[in-house]
Amino acid sequence: MGQPIGLALSGGGFRAAGFHLGVLARLADEGLLEDVTALSTVSGGSLAISLVMTAGGGVPRWPTSEEYRRVVVPHARRMLTTTDLQGSYIRRLLRDPLSLLRPRARVLAALLAKLWGVTAPLSALPERPVWLINATCYETGVNWRFSARQMGDYCFGYSADTAGVPLSEAVAASGAFPGVIGPLTLHTERFTWTPPAGGQSHPLPIRTLHLWDGGVYDNLGTEGLFNPGSGYRQHIKFLIVSDAGARPGIGDSYNPFIAPYRIISLATNQVRSLRARMIVAHLKDSGAGGYFQIDNSASYLLTRAGRKEEIPALAPRYLSEEDVRRAALMETAIKQLQPDQFELLFRHGFEVADMTLYGVRSGGRRPLRGYRAAEWA
């Protein structure tokens, strides 16, 4: 058993899911999945881990590194390249136009249960690793977390009644992007609530809560694993942040119909950037972690690691700058990936993890693994 690892997986729809699965493949390649003790996920990261946990059917479980290669990757590839959550979601809404006026996250949850087999309750999740599924509570304005043992936030308190909450609904709330998917509504009278600091149970002052995409508050999902003042939480010693969020570029001419979404994207990206700088600074000081970012090429990572002289020998073994950019520019959506899109995202995640680990580990003394497509086919 190595040092306990915490994984934070960002939002970003199926783009993020494919990238994160490649990151996990690189960890599995070295037998490191057995050392993961805590997960904290947002949106696309939550979708990815729902595939990982349910790949074997039955009760959700965290795979061994060998099971990840043999069972999880084929299952995840099949789900992401043959199912279209977005198209199915839109068709359901068109069959019931009045549903547009109601919170719609449960439509997505029903599709996750039907198409992906995500049918277990939260309470069925394994104790190890602890999985924190992040949403944003509209009423309190802070991070709302679902886990096997409890759900809630530090304003309203927590409920241990997780047996009555489907995992599919927690994952849907985590990805309920404003304006696209409505919030998950939670009727608080169904549950018993304990104050944040402990003590006697109490009813919440609001009967219905609205839970939106966790990326609105923290698109990296790091708050549950890292505190700037006290360091790592959840008994972890090494933190890996996998960031596959979109970077808003220079916009086209003003369009009043999409302007609100761009404003949300800009604000979310600014929050992500501030958190990323803080985390990267900590990782540089401690040396106990890695920041795996989409859109980072081998040449860029070698340069950042002070190994520019190795670019001619190593960079040609990795994706080209053009392919890296193509992966990063895939839209943030939950619609079916083409097989070549999945392979590109998966390989990019694997290679970013490979090269980043090379740069952060004791001067890179451990050899690079390199991506071998046939081994993950």
pLDDT, tens digit (0-9, with 9 covering 90-100), for 292-326: 999 999 999 999 888 899 999 999 999 999 999 99
Cα 247 to chain centroid distance, Å, stands at: 16
Q: What distance lies between CA 195 and its chain's CA centroid?
A: 28
Instruction: Name the token pair of 88.
Output: 């199915």
- Kindly tell me the burial class for residue 101, based on how many C-beta atoms sit within 10 Å of its own C-beta (0-12, 13-18, 19 or more): exposed
Nearest to 44 by CA among 294, 228, 338: 294
CB 167, CB 117: distance < 8 Å:
no
Question: What are the Cα distances from residue 234, in Å, to 38, 39, 41, 143?
Answer: 7, 9, 14, 17
What CA–CA distance (Å, rounded) separates 301 from 286?
19
User: Is the confidence at residue 129, as pLDDT, over 60?
Assistant: yes
Distance, CA of 109 to CA of 168 (rounded, Å): 5
The yes-or-no verdict on residue 28 having pLDDT over 90 is: yes
Bond into 129 cis (ω within 30): yes
Separation CA 323–CA 319 (nearest Å): 6
Give me the mean pLDDT over the 221-242 stretch: 89
Count Cα neighbours of 254 within 13 Å in the Cβ-side half-sphere.
1
Question: What average pLDDT does this structure show over 346-374?
Answer: 83
CA distance 5 to 128: 11
Query: Tens of pLDDT along 249-261?
Result: 666 677 776 666 6
> CB of 117 within 8 A of CB of 54?
yes
Compute the distance between CA of residue 319 and CA of residue 34 in angstroms, rounded to an integer: 28
* Average predicted confidence (pLDDT) for the chain: 90
Tell me the average pLDDT across 21-50.
Answer: 97
- pLDDT band of 242, cuts 50, 70, 90: very high
pLDDT band at 367 (very low <50, low <70, confident <90, very high): low
Structure confidence at residue 284 as a pLDDT band (50, 70, 90): confident
Average pLDDT over residues 246-272: 68
In the prediction, which pLDDT does 81 show?
A: 98
- Taking a C-beta distance cutoff of 8 angstroms, is the pair 206, 224 a contact? no
Q: Is the pLDDT of residue 144 over 90?
A: yes
Q: Where are the alpha helices (DSSP H) in the chain?
A: 13-29, 44-54, 65-67, 73-82, 85-95, 105-116, 167-174, 215-218, 259-286, 298-304, 311-314, 321-328, 339-360
pLDDT above 80 for 225 = yes
Residues of the chain with pLDDT > 90, as a percent, come to: 67
Is residue 167 pLDDT above 90, yes or no? yes
Give the pLDDT of residue 238. Answer: 93
